[in-house]
Amino acid sequence: MTTNKLLSPLIQKVADYNDPEVVRNLNLYPYFRPIESDQAAEVIIEGKKVLMFGSNSYLGLTSHPKVKEGAIAAIRKYGTGCGGSRFLNGTLDIHIECEAKIAKFVGKEGALLFATGMQANLGGISSLATGRDDVVLLDKFDHASILDGARLGMGRVSRFQHNDLASLEALLAACKPERNKLIVVDGVFSMHGDIAPLPGIIDLAEKYGAAVMVDDAHGIGVLGDHGRGTCNHFGVTDRVDVIMGTFSKSLATVGGFLAGDAAMIDYLKHTSRALIFSASIAPANVGAVMAALDIIEAQPELIRQLWDNTARMRTGLLSMGYTFLGNPETPILPVFIGDDLICFNMCKSLQENGIFVNPVVSPAIEHGHALLRISLMATQTFAQIDRALEQMSIVGKKLGVIAG
């Protein structure tokens, strides 16, 4: 940790902008901003109304009355916790009901609930790559929880260039045929908003005898028929071995799951340390998830509105002269800023003018590629989007990010 004695507060290397003390001294610290209301399209920060364009609640269900009632009804029946792990005393009938509901939703034989999405990846990947000769192949842009899960296993970790099938094939071809191989990718990449080329990845997996796991945290509720996710979007659900998802995005609460064939799920039940040695997911979260799934099934217009909102924001930003980092294909729009300090300034200025966005700077992203991560919600109105675009224009011109 850097201490005050080691800092030169007025003269810092650009790389030090990831040091919280440096950013605080510049009065630009953009993290842990306390929100005083629910996670809706409009939130309250420091007593002021701010439009939320940084949430992963893509369908805006965290405030939906039926989701709230689902959580409350579960608390009334089961209490606030389970008093143990799923492996021993912590399995409730509502857990089993929810697992069946999720499995059906994503098109797999079975599912297994975890207390968080992070735990699902840690527990799933580390349990599937247990041999020293196993190989786990990851996209370089995979989520941190995927990398951590791979490192927890005993196998060797190899990383291929982002969405690069030739790079993946080179790694597969270099593996000894007898080795177990697991490819793990995000369905939708959380920072860049682009989609993994699953059909090509699966073709290579089948050619070289590898298994495929898809982290669909940002695809569930967004892509596919009724939001069934990236695998459904490409029509490859039956060719994917494991689907992982979280409840903290479109499903409006906290938790995660792994879905696969019945034998796979049974194996994970008895080998996943993140499941066996962790307390069960709380009843309220399970009740909220089941209510959210019912809403998604019954109201596909929410997803259509999400995409309409995305198109409006995307078109507006491009017309002003903003560019995106990469090729976003989802409601995640990575607006390229470049300089870390300008990115922090934009974030602060936008919030002061009623717009909440997320800054992404080095080392989370390559130095010189700082971006504002803007994400859309189904519950935002066109008027709110237009107000955000107006402020993006004013602030962007003021800071020289776009021509003005």
SS (H, E, C) the chain: CCCHHHCCCCCCCHHHHHCHHHHHHCCCCCCCCCCCCCCCCEEEECCEEEEECCCCCCCCHHHCHHHHHHHHHHHHHHCCCCCCECCCCCCCHHHHHHHHHHHHHHCCCEEEEECCHHHHHHHHHHHHCCCCCCEEEEECCCCHHHHHHHHHCCCEEEEECCCCHHHHHHHHHHCCCCCCEEEEEECECCCCCCECCHHHHHHHHHHHCCEEEEECCCCCCCCCHHHCCHHHHHCCHHHCCEEEEECCCCCCCCCEEEEECHHHHHHHHHHCHHHHCCECCCHHHHHHHHHHHHHHHHCCHHHHHHHHHHHHHHHHHHHHCCCECCCCCCCEEEEEEECHHHHHHHHHHHHHCCEECEEECCCCCCCCCEEEEEECCCCCCHHHHHHHHHHHHHHHHHCCCCCC
Residue with tokens 């440096």: 22
Q: Do residues 216 and 244 make contact, with C-beta atoms less than 8 angstroms apart?
A: yes
The dihedral through the CA atoms of 119, 120, 122, 124 has a sign that is: positive
Tokens at 389, concatenated: 């675009």
Known catalytic residue at 249: yes
Whole-angstrom Cα distance, residue 82 to residue 85?
8
Known catalytic residue at 218: yes
Among residues 64, 108, 181, 218, the one annotated as catalytic is 218
Among residues 55, 190, 248, 280, the one annotated as catalytic is 190
Residue length, the chain?
A: 404
Whole-angstrom Cα distance, residue 220 to residue 297?
12
Whole-angstrom Cα distance, residue 305 to residue 360?
26
Distance of CA 159 to the CA centre of its chain: 19
Among residues 249, 250, 272, 375, the one annotated as catalytic is 249
Known catalytic residue at 397: no
Whole-angstrom Cα distance, residue 209 to residue 177?
8
Residues with catalytic function: 190, 218, 249
